[in-house]
Amino acid sequence: MNLREQIEKEITDKVMTKLASERVELNIVGDIKKDTANIDKQVQNVQRIIDNIDKLWESLNSAVSDVENMKTQLKNITGAQANLGGSMQDSLKTGDKAEKLAKDLGLDVMKVDGFDKLFKSYDKAVSVEKNVKKAIDKGNSILKKLR
Protein backbone atom coordinates (compact mmCIF):
# COMPACT_ATOMS: atom_id res chain seq x y z
CA MET A 1 0.00 0.00 0.00
CA ASN A 2 1.39 3.33 -0.94
CA LEU A 3 1.49 6.38 1.26
CA ARG A 4 -1.50 7.97 -0.34
CA GLU A 5 -3.66 4.89 0.14
CA GLN A 6 -2.43 4.55 3.69
CA ILE A 7 -3.33 8.21 4.46
CA GLU A 8 -6.73 7.79 2.79
CA LYS A 9 -7.36 4.62 4.83
CA GLU A 10 -6.40 6.35 8.10
CA ILE A 11 -8.57 9.36 7.30
CA THR A 12 -11.46 7.08 6.26
CA ASP A 13 -11.08 5.01 9.43
CA LYS A 14 -11.06 8.16 11.57
CA VAL A 15 -14.08 9.59 9.73
CA MET A 16 -15.94 6.30 10.05
CA THR A 17 -15.10 6.09 13.76
CA LYS A 18 -16.27 9.66 14.23
CA LEU A 19 -19.49 8.96 12.28
CA ALA A 20 -20.13 5.81 14.31
CA SER A 21 -19.58 7.77 17.52
CA GLU A 22 -21.99 10.48 16.37
CA ARG A 23 -24.56 7.86 15.37
CA VAL A 24 -24.33 6.33 18.85
CA GLU A 25 -24.58 9.81 20.35
CA LEU A 26 -27.65 10.56 18.21
CA ASN A 27 -29.26 7.28 19.34
CA ILE A 28 -28.67 8.09 23.00
CA VAL A 29 -30.07 11.60 22.52
CA GLY A 30 -33.26 10.05 21.12
CA ASP A 31 -33.46 7.70 24.09
CA ILE A 32 -32.92 10.60 26.48
CA LYS A 33 -35.71 12.60 24.86
CA LYS A 34 -38.05 9.60 24.90
CA ASP A 35 -37.30 8.80 28.55
CA THR A 36 -37.67 12.47 29.54
CA ALA A 37 -41.09 12.66 27.89
CA ASN A 38 -42.12 9.38 29.52
CA ILE A 39 -41.02 10.37 33.02
CA ASP A 40 -42.67 13.81 32.67
CA LYS A 41 -45.93 12.08 31.67
CA GLN A 42 -45.71 9.73 34.66
CA VAL A 43 -44.92 12.61 37.04
CA GLN A 44 -48.02 14.45 35.81
CA ASN A 45 -50.14 11.33 36.26
CA VAL A 46 -48.89 10.70 39.80
CA GLN A 47 -49.29 14.40 40.73
CA ARG A 48 -52.87 14.35 39.41
CA ILE A 49 -53.62 11.34 41.61
CA ILE A 50 -51.98 13.03 44.63
CA ASP A 51 -54.11 16.13 44.01
CA ASN A 52 -57.25 13.97 43.81
CA ILE A 53 -56.33 12.24 47.08
CA ASP A 54 -55.81 15.63 48.74
CA LYS A 55 -59.22 16.86 47.57
CA LEU A 56 -60.93 13.65 48.66
CA TRP A 57 -59.16 13.78 52.02
CA GLU A 58 -60.48 17.28 52.63
CA SER A 59 -63.99 16.23 51.66
CA LEU A 60 -63.93 13.02 53.68
CA ASN A 61 -62.30 14.70 56.66
CA SER A 62 -65.18 17.16 56.67
CA ALA A 63 -67.63 14.26 56.33
CA VAL A 64 -66.03 12.48 59.31
CA SER A 65 -66.47 15.65 61.33
CA ASP A 66 -70.10 15.81 60.19
CA VAL A 67 -70.61 12.16 61.22
CA GLU A 68 -69.27 12.89 64.70
CA ASN A 69 -71.51 15.95 64.88
CA MET A 70 -74.51 13.85 63.80
CA LYS A 71 -73.80 11.33 66.58
CA THR A 72 -73.60 14.17 69.10
CA GLN A 73 -76.86 15.70 67.86
CA LEU A 74 -78.62 12.34 68.07
CA LYS A 75 -77.46 12.02 71.68
CA ASN A 76 -78.52 15.61 72.40
CA ILE A 77 -82.02 15.29 70.95
CA THR A 78 -83.12 12.78 73.56
CA GLY A 79 -82.31 15.17 76.39
CA ALA A 80 -83.72 18.13 74.52
CA GLN A 81 -86.91 16.21 73.82
CA ALA A 82 -87.21 15.31 77.50
CA ASN A 83 -86.70 18.98 78.44
CA LEU A 84 -89.32 20.01 75.90
CA GLY A 85 -91.73 17.43 77.27
CA GLY A 86 -91.17 18.77 80.78
CA SER A 87 -91.77 22.32 79.62
CA MET A 88 -94.91 21.22 77.83
CA GLN A 89 -96.18 19.54 81.00
CA ASP A 90 -95.42 22.68 82.99
CA SER A 91 -97.25 24.85 80.45
CA LEU A 92 -100.29 22.53 80.56
CA LYS A 93 -100.42 22.82 84.33
CA THR A 94 -100.06 26.60 84.12
CA GLY A 95 -102.73 26.74 81.41
CA ASP A 96 -105.09 24.64 83.50
CA LYS A 97 -104.53 26.95 86.50
CA ALA A 98 -105.11 30.00 84.31
CA GLU A 99 -108.35 28.52 82.92
CA LYS A 100 -109.61 27.66 86.41
CA LEU A 101 -108.78 31.09 87.79
CA ALA A 102 -110.31 32.84 84.77
CA LYS A 103 -113.46 30.72 85.08
CA ASP A 104 -113.69 31.47 88.81
CA LEU A 105 -113.43 35.17 88.03
CA GLY A 106 -115.83 34.93 85.09
CA LEU A 107 -113.15 35.94 82.57
CA ASP A 108 -112.22 34.63 79.15
CA VAL A 109 -108.92 32.76 79.62
CA MET A 110 -107.65 34.05 76.26
CA LYS A 111 -107.77 37.56 77.72
CA VAL A 112 -105.38 36.62 80.53
CA ASP A 113 -102.10 38.41 79.80
CA GLY A 114 -99.68 36.09 78.00
CA PHE A 115 -102.04 33.09 77.76
CA ASP A 116 -102.36 33.39 73.99
CA LYS A 117 -98.56 33.34 73.65
CA LEU A 118 -98.35 30.30 75.92
CA PHE A 119 -101.00 28.59 73.80
CA LYS A 120 -99.09 29.33 70.56
CA SER A 121 -95.79 28.21 72.08
CA TYR A 122 -97.39 24.96 73.18
CA ASP A 123 -98.72 24.40 69.65
CA LYS A 124 -95.21 24.98 68.26
CA ALA A 125 -93.83 22.50 70.78
CA VAL A 126 -96.36 19.87 69.70
CA SER A 127 -95.42 20.44 66.07
CA VAL A 128 -91.69 20.21 66.79
CA GLU A 129 -92.10 17.12 68.92
CA LYS A 130 -93.84 15.37 66.01
CA ASN A 131 -90.65 15.90 63.97
CA VAL A 132 -88.28 14.42 66.57
CA LYS A 133 -88.78 10.81 65.47
CA LYS A 134 -88.29 11.78 61.82
CA ALA A 135 -85.07 13.59 62.69
CA ILE A 136 -83.77 10.65 64.72
CA ASP A 137 -84.67 8.19 61.96
CA LYS A 138 -83.03 10.41 59.36
CA GLY A 139 -79.83 10.73 61.39
CA ASN A 140 -79.67 7.02 62.17
CA SER A 141 -80.32 6.05 58.55
CA ILE A 142 -77.35 8.04 57.28
CA LEU A 143 -75.10 6.68 60.03
CA LYS A 144 -76.21 3.14 59.16
CA LYS A 145 -75.21 3.72 55.52
CA LEU A 146 -71.74 4.80 56.64
CA ARG A 147 -71.07 1.68 58.71
72 to 3, 62, 65, 68: CA distances (angstroms) = 101, 15, 11, 6
pTM for this model (two decimals) = 0.58
CA distance 129 to 135: 10
Helices 3-105 and 115-146: angle between axes, nearest 10 degrees = 150
Structure confidence at residue 43 as a pLDDT band (50, 70, 90): very high
| Domain map (residue ranges) of the chain | 3-146
Name the DSSP class of 112.
Answer: S
Q: Say what percent of the chain tops pLDDT 70.
A: 93
CA-atom Rg of the chain in angstroms:
43
Name the DSSP class of 110.
Answer: G
93-129 pLDDT, tens digit per residue, is: 999 999 998 898 898 988 888 989 998 999 999 999 9
